[in-house]
Amino acid sequence: MYHAAACMASNYLVTLMNMVEGIYRHLGMDADEAVRAFWPLVRGTVKNMEDRGTEKSLTGPIARGDSGTIGKHLKVLESKMPELLDVYCEMGLFAVDIGIKNNTLSEERADKIKSLLRGTSNE
């Protein structure tokens, strides 16, 4: 378990950042531009996690229950980079649970977002 956790913390973080870089490259940036674009956000997030813990560091559309933005993300990923859609949805489902724990996300909004992420929404 310890080694699996370490692998996820290191190797999977690198993999996730490589996916993020790929999105920026899809938008026309080179690798250096992509890293410069997302690195300040990543640095701030890592600092927040160090200072406040992982759960209290969750921000963004899932934390605030913004299903409209999440729906837009799903549509653009499906049409432009479908290979990332499953990862986005699986990570999003875990983020919903964090939002619920933090009391930033109501059960009603959480259910709506989970339906979107599972592809079972009627929207």
What confidence score (pLDDT) does residue 123 get? 58
What is the per-residue pLDDT across 50-74, written as a single tens digit (0 to 9) for each? 999 999 999 999 999 999 999 999 9
> Given 3-state DSSP classes, what are the helix, strand and coil percentages for the chain, each rounded to the nearest 5?
80, 0, 20
pLDDT averaged over every residue in the chain: 96
Q: Do residues 75 and 41 touch, judged by C-beta distance below 8 A?
A: no
